[in-house]
Amino acid sequence: MPICTQRDLPAKEILEKENIFVMDETRAMHQDIRPISIAILNLMPLKEDTELQLLRSLSNTPLQVDITFLAVESHEAKNTSISHLNKFYQVFGDVKNRRFDGLIITGAPVELMEFEEVDYWDELCDIMDWSKTNVTSTMHLCWGAQAGLYYHYGIKKHILDHKVFGIFEHHVRNRRVPLVRGFDDLFMAPHSRNTENLTSDIRAVEDLTILAESDEVGVFLAIADEGRRIFVMGHPEYDRITLDKEYKRDMEKGIDIALPKNYYPNDDSDKRPNLQWRAHGNALYSNWLNYYVYQQTPYDFIDTAGIVGK
């Protein structure tokens, strides 16, 4: 089944060229099925790149996935045109009376700031509070995961001595949980961050279960409240050249940045990076949609508090 987006979203044409089935809203209206409704709160600066990466990741199931892109009102985007935002994005006020099967909160380039210093922090808190009753399952990515852990559990982030940057090996820690179904014992995943949550802080919260972690860069995946909240510390949605673009952009700016680890063949930045994480990234998003979104939400969406018996 397809990803359902607006007819003229730029990512739609790229996905179709990659042989990914993308359906526009007009055709979707004639489908006699219950689509899965997913909101994506896109906090990344290069929003069109993130749109494409996440739509690719969500396309690998037999489910029809209906996408709503959200932007925050309390921050002015500097790297995405106003016309693109006005055409393809809604804000929280537009959707706060709706319910969604799933919500993705992306990362953001504000990790060195205290949460309360971020200009849209109060708005993000309102959205995370709303998600408790209006969303079946929320996936938090990278800084979005740190923000979610801080908001829901008071877990603080800590600045690292050096940036975690590259592709790192992770171990599955709890194979019985469906979110990691189909994962190998060891798998690779991208990271790009200057901060971390301490493993000990996460383990100290009874409601949180660590599903995958790295000996080198710590927790990668944690789950809470029977899948109502999922925290992903890396970027499994990244495409082959995302880290390459980030590395070369920072080099051109004169920023002191190390070569991304385990990324370029023979650590030669002139060579095409190896794609080592796509299968597990796709499995993660597919498992989330299937086991924590689709199978948890009835055909006629009701209050999620009722679904979980609260």
- Summarised one tens digit per residue, pLDDT across range 193-240 is 999 999 999 999 999 999 999 999 999 999 999 999 999 999 999 999
Between CA 260 and CA 257 the distance in angstroms is 9
Is 43 within 8 Å of 79 (Cβ atoms)? no
Give 79-82 contacts, CB < 8 A, sequence gap 24+. Answer: 79/45, 79/46, 79/47, 80/45, 80/46, 80/47, 80/48
Q: What is the pLDDT of residue 301?
A: 47
The three-state secondary structure class of 169 is strand
Q: What are phi and psi of 16, to 5 degrees?
A: -65, -35
Q: What is the pLDDT of residue 308?
A: 47
Q: What is the pLDDT of residue 291?
A: 92
Asked if pLDDT for residue 4 goes beyond 80, the answer is no
Q: Is 237 a catalytic residue?
A: yes
Which of 4, 142, 213, 280 is the catalytic position?
142
Asked if pLDDT for residue 36 goes beyond 50, the answer is yes
Per residue in 243-286, pLDDT tens?
Answer: 999 999 999 999 989 999 999 999 999 999 999 999 999 999 99
Which of 140, 152, 191, 235 is the catalytic position?
235
Is 36 within 8 Å of 289 (Cβ atoms)? yes
Q: What is the pLDDT of residue 11?
A: 60
Asked if pLDDT for residue 18 goes beyond 70, the answer is no
Q: Is 235 a catalytic residue?
A: yes
Per residue in 166-196, pLDDT tens?
Answer: 999 999 999 999 999 999 999 999 999 999 9
> Please, what sign has the CA dihedral across residues 266, 170, 18, 260?
negative
223 CB-side CA count, 13 A: 20
Q: What is the pLDDT of residue 87?
A: 93
How much of the chain is helix, strand and coil, in % rounded to 5?
35, 25, 40
Asked if pLDDT for residue 30 goes beyond 70, the answer is no
Which of 111, 191, 237, 280 is the catalytic position?
237
Per residue in 103-155, pLDDT tens?
Answer: 999 999 999 999 999 999 999 999 999 999 999 999 999 999 999 999 999 99
Asked if pLDDT for residue 302 goes beyond 80, the answer is no
Q: What is the pLDDT of residue 33?
A: 55
Q: What is the pLDDT of residue 298?
A: 53
Q: What is the pLDDT of residue 81?
A: 87
| Percent of the chain surpassing pLDDT 90 | 77
